[in-house]
Structure 1
Amino acid sequence: MNISPSPLTDTGKALLRLNLIAIALLWLYPLLTYSQLPETVPTHFGAGGEPDRFGSREELLILPAVFSIAPAIILIITKLRFTLINRYPQFINLPAFYMNIGKIREERRSYWVNRYFEPVLLLSLILSAGFLGMEYAIFHATLSGELPLLFYIILIFVIAAPLFIFFLYLSMISAQMSREIGE
């Protein structure tokens, strides 16, 4: 089955733009605060939030690079979504999508591909926001000498919330698709 490409929905386009802004902020924040950091900063914190390793402030510049990897990969996959679905469907593992896409009228299939990528873009945005919060907490900790409680809250949020929201959104879209095909 070959699905003709079509542009993202308005929601998808907005999520894409917000993702680009979030990735830019992941880089902008450290660059703007870098000059405020002392030459030697805590680079690792123990479970109690106390620093247990110190290093050069340049080491902190790896954070935006590391935190940008997952969102950037998601944006690339989104850009290549139709190529991946048409040529390598095994890479896009969405069982509910593949069970139902053949039942959708051909002219509506690209719409549903785009709808299924909305939660993927939302996941990326939530991850980026969480990473930005972690970045803030880490930079704050380098100045104060201990990780704030905010870091641990964000860490839990970055792990749990994106997955919960992703699967909830995916479930909602699957239900809408099922209604369209009359199941």
Structure 2
Amino acid sequence: MANPVIVVKKEPFDNAVERAGWLALALLIFIPAWYFGDLPDEVPRHFGPDGSPTAWSGKGFIWIMPIIGSIMFVKLFFLSRYPHIYNYPVTVTEENAPRLYLKGSRMIRVLNAVLVYVFLYITYSSIQTALGEQSGLNPAIMFAMMGTIFAIIGFYLIDSYRNK
């Protein structure tokens, strides 16, 4: 059975999260462009568990994260507009669809913003590492960012079960 197709109005929080995501996306593109001329011939392309760079590539590699991040952001941005196509952990009915769709699309929006900020942090840290301003990624920040991603997913899954 297909999920009911209804339009769910975004709340102010949803708009704020989307704006924060678009800001991060703009920075994700602007920062590498700003620093590109100052970069050495090689930039870090991989970091070990301790945050130190373990592999290097040509400076054009600095555009990989902005390219992947931009594609991901735009796809998730449009996906957030169609919550009726998501898979939900509970049965979607006419009664619970508005609540589930709002929560589901909100989860996608929040994840989208957080993910683009993760890409932004990695890109900026890669630039700063290449320029000799820092020694790599901060493992505590990366751990916190990954924890945030799993916490968001966990929160929305638990919320879906509690509010069938």
Alignment TM class, shorter chain as reference: 0.7 to 0.9
Tell me which residue corresponds to 1:156.
143
| TM-score of the two chains, using structure 1 as the length reference | 0.72
Tell me which residue corresponds to 1:120.
108
1:94 aligns with 2:81: no
Which whole-Å CA distance do the structure 1 matches of 2:15 and 2:57 have between them?
Answer: 42
The residue type equivalent to 1:8 in the other structure is K
Q: Which structure 1 segments of 5+ residues have no match?
A: 179-183
Quick check: which has more Rg, 1 or 2?
1
Tell me which residue corresponds to 1:104.
95
Q: Which structure 2 segments of 5+ residues have no match?
A: none
Which whole-Å CA distance do the structure 2 matches of 1:154 and 1:136 have between them?
Answer: 13
The residue type equivalent to 1:134 in the other structure is I
- Cα 1:54–1:5 change in 2 (3 A) is closer
Tell me which residue corresponds to 1:181.
none
If each structure's helix is expressed as a fraction of its own residues, which one has the higher value? 1
Q: Is the contact made by 2:45 and 2:61 (CA closer than 8 Å) also made in structure 1?
A: no
Identity of aligned residues (%): 17
Q: Counterparts in 2 of 1:1-183, with a 5 A limit?
A: 2-38=4-40, 40-45=41-46, 47=48, 49-50=52-53, 52-55=55-58, 57-79=59-81, 81-82=82-83, 85=84, 89=85, 92-96=86-90, 99=91, 101-102=92-93, 104=95, 109-144=97-132, 147-150=135-138, 152-172=139-159, 174-175=161-162, 177-178=163-164
RMSD over aligned CA atoms reads 2.7
The residue type equivalent to 1:157 in the other structure is A
